[in-house]
Structure 1
C-alpha cells in the first residue's frame, strides 16, 4: 500500500485583527516570481523582508499547483520568521490550503463574496483597479480590505495594460477610507512622484526583483516611502 505524501507544514497565521493592523502599517508590497532561473528564492525572500518589505506576493503563472504550493510553503515560513505577511494571487483554493495572510484578485477574478465563501473572514483581501470608478467600487466594498491603483506607468509585467498616470493616484487619495497601494513602473526614482500625488503605499516588482542587491533596493524604497 502506497503511503500518502506528508502535507507541507505551514506555520500558524495571525488573527484578522493583527493582519489588519499590519496592513494599515504596511508601506512596501512586493510581487515576485519563484526565482526559478536564479535559483535563490529563499535568500531573496529573506533579503526582501530584511530590507523592509511588508508583504510579499508570489505570482508565477508558469508553476504547476504543486510547485506553487511548495514555493508558498517556503514563503510562509520565511514570512513568519520575519513577522511579516505573505499573499497569494488569484487562486483561492491555494490561498486556503497554505493559510495565506492576504489574497489578491484582479477585475476578472473571483468576486469578493465568492472569495469570502472560500476563505472565510480572517484573510485580508485586495483587488486591482485601473480606473476611478473601479477604485471607488473597491473602496465601497465592505468585504475588501485594500485595493491597488495602476499601472501608474506602463510596465512589462502588465503587457497591454495602459498606464493610468498620476492623476488617478491623486483621485484615489481623495477616497481615503481604506488602505490602498499605487502600482506599476514604480522604483526609487519615482516614489517621490507617487508620494506627492498622495500615495502612502506602493507595490513593486522589478525595482527589487531585478536589483543586484535586493536587500539594499528594498531599504532604499522603504526609506523613500517613510522618510
Structure 2
C-alpha cells in the first residue's frame, strides 16, 4: 500500500523520543502503525539523524509509517514517510513544499476552528492530531481540550484524526466512546513495563487485533 492508504488503515500512533530498539521493535510487532520521532532538544542534526535511522529501519521492517516531528527539512535525509508540525511550527504550505507531494503531513489541532482550517489547507494536510484530551507533561502549558473536541472532530473531520494527550489503557475506552477510532500515545508505551502488552491492550480497546511476528 502507498503511504496514504497505510495512513487510512492506521489506528495506533506512537510519539516517542529516542527509544531503545528492543522496546521499539516490541511495540511495532504488537501493533503500532505509525511512529513519530519527537526529539525537541537534540545535540544537533547528527544525533537526530542517528536516532531517525533506528526508527526508520524498525518501521520499515514492521510495515509501519515513520514520521519526523517538526523538521520537514530533514524528512528526505532521514528517509521518513512524512512530518508532523504544530500550530506554532513551520507553516503547512512550507512544510509541504519541503517534503514534496508523496509524503504525508500531519498537523496538531486544539480547537474546532483549527480542525476546520486544516481541512481548508488545499490538500496540504493528510491527518490531524486532536488534543490534548487530558493534561499531559509532554505538552506543558497546553490546556486539556477534553472529550468534547474529540466528539466535535468525529462529527466534522474528513481527514484521519488521532486523539492524543493522556491516552492510555485507562482512558482509551472513553476516547473511543467520544468518537475516535484512532489514537496517538506517548508515555502509555514509552514508560510501559511491557510495551507489547500495552499496545495489545490499546488495540483491543479500539476494536483492533494485535499484530504478531511482523517485526
Deviations 1:25-79 (A, max 9, x none): 10000011113xxxxx211110110111000111112322101101101111111
Q: Is 1:93 paired with 2:77?
A: no
TM-score where L is the length of structure 2: 0.93
Alpha-carbon RMSD across the aligned residues, in angstroms, is: 1.1
1:99 Cα offset (Å): 2.1
Partner in structure 2 of residue 38 of structure 1: none
Match of 1:65 in 2: 45
Matches within 5 A, 1:145-160: 145-160=126-141
Q: Which runs of 5+ in 1 are unaligned?
A: 1-16, 36-40
Moved over 3 A (4+): none
Q: Provide the C-alpha distance between the structure 2 equivalents of 1:119 and 1:33, rounded to a whole number of angstroms.
A: 21
Normalised by the size of structure 1, how large is the TM-score? 0.88
Partner of 1:171: 152
Q: Which runs of 5+ in 2 are unaligned?
A: 209-215
State the Cα deviation string for residues 151-191 of structure 1 (Å, max 9, x = none): 00000111110000011110111113110110000111111
Matched residues, number: 206
Partner of 1:84: 64
Q: Between Structure 1 and Structure 2, whose CA radius of gyration is higher? A: 1
Q: Secondary structure at the match of 1:226?
A: coil
Alpha-carbon distance between aligned partners in 2 of 1:182 and 1:131, rounded to the nearest angstrom: 12
* Alpha-carbon contact 1:139-1:146 (below 8 Å) kept: no
Q: Is the 8 A contact 1:139 1:147 kept in 2?
A: no
